[in-house]
Amino acid sequence: MAAVFAGFLLALMLRYPMQSVQAAADGLRTFAQGVLPALFPYMALCQLLSPALARMRRVPRALPVTVLAFLGGSPGGARLIALLCAQGALSPRQTRMLAALTGTCSPMFLLGTVSAWACSHALGVCLLLSHWMGAALCALCVRAFDRSEMPQSAAPGSSPPPETPPSLASAVQGSAQAMLTVGGCIALMTVAARLCACAFPALGGGAQAALHAALEMAGGAHAILSLGLPPRTAAVCVCAAVSFGGVSVLLQNLSFLRTVGISVPYLALCRALHALFAAALCRLLYPPLSRALPAAAFPLGAPAAGAAGFPALPALWILLGLAALGLDRRRARVRRARRATSLRT
């Protein structure tokens, strides 16, 4: 199936070369201007935090992973899950549940970009709440139907095998390689969406927007908002598109999760379930939120009210995590020094 799709796209590229080049340039521009500046430092810092998260005792490891994934969006959560699995910090059942829970979109995109496209702060807030609650419901369903054996409780004092803390250089290098995968997925799916629109001009605007959203989430959300649908209908459609993520986000997450045993059908089913729950919640929440929040009339492209201060939350979590990492390393050095002193005496 993948070979057939690739051959079809290759034929379309030869038929529409100018449109293909322009679409690739647009996808890479979106990646360079909107994704890379926020996601690259976030992924590098999460890699530095991963050893400290793996050694946590009093706090469930799923909690900080979920918070960091919700605040950073995809594929940062998938990469963090893969890093913790490589260190033996997550069981297969926990990995499956977190994969269902953390395939979310960046809140900065919903509160800032999408709100500006629609000129409505209420839409961004409704999308974010529905998106997060839909992910939680999806994870609860996965947990309820996952019949695999529960992991055995660890013996007192047991811990994952010791992991060498990553250096800043290795974190930057690993995150840069991961960002190449993200940029390639965005560019490829943007080209696919543009070529499909060129190949099937008879499709209506709604069908083309749905196809674009199924392939690439950000451009598809913009296309849906450009259709002139009623506000509530547009909110539900955008929420479903963002929660599913499209093939582009699915490929980005799979590039990290496939190595830890997450299959393509499982992740696609989780994202479809997430989209269903989020769309239903958005349909319920939009009327009261649109009445409670102001319309927030701001020009197209301006940041939505309240979105500017939101990045402080990820920064606060990262700083707290780095402080915990430094404290943990300091305690480890003190323990090693005490053991060395006791051996000499």
Residue 81 tokens read as 């899950």
| pLDDT for the residue numbered 306 | 40
Residue 277 banded pLDDT, cuts 50, 70, 90:
very high
Which residue is listed with tokens 């319309």? Answer: 295
Q: What is the pLDDT of residue 239?
A: 95
pLDDT above 90 (res 22): yes
Number of structural domains (the chain) is: 1
Model pLDDT, residue 69: 82
The model carries a pTM of 0.76
Weakest-pLDDT range from 69-73, 77-81, 289-293: 69-73
Q: Give the residue numbers spanning the domain of 51.
A: 14-144+171-297
What is the 8-class DSSP label of residue 262?
Answer: -
The percentage of the chain sitting over the pLDDT mark of 90, rounded to a whole number, equals: 22
CB 220 within 8 Å of CB 247: no
For 264-297, letters b (16+ CB in 10 Å) and e give eeebeebbebbbbbbbbbbbebbeebbeebeebe
Q: What share of the chain is helix, strand, coil (3-state, %, to 5)?
A: 75, 0, 25
Query: 314 lies in a domain?
Result: no
pLDDT exceeds cutoff 50 at 302: no
pLDDT at 127: 93
**Does pLDDT of 157 surpass 50?**
no
- Amino acid 154: pLDDT: 43
32 inside domain: yes
Position 134 scores a pLDDT of: 94
Residue 103 in any domain: the answer is: yes
Q: Please state the rounded mean pLDDT for residues 49-68.
A: 71
What local confidence, expressed as pLDDT, does residue 106 receive?
A: 82
Residue 246 lies in a domain: yes
Higher pLDDT, 321 or 178: 178
Task: Classify residue 120: in a domain, yes or no.
Answer: yes
Band the pLDDT of 333: cuts 50, 70, 90. low
CB 167 within 8 A of CB 325: no
Three state DSSP letters for 113-135: HHHHHHCCHHHHHHHHHHHHHHH
Encode pLDDT of 172-212 as tens digits: 887 788 888 888 888 888 898 889 888 888 777 888 889 88
Identify the pLDDT of residue 331.
Answer: 55
* pLDDT of res. 163: 53
Is 51 among the domain residues? yes
Cβ-in-10-Å burial (0-12, 13-18, 19+) of 155 comes to exposed
Q: Is residue 193 part of a domain?
A: yes
Report yes or no on 176 lying in a domain: yes
Mean pLDDT of 319-343: 58
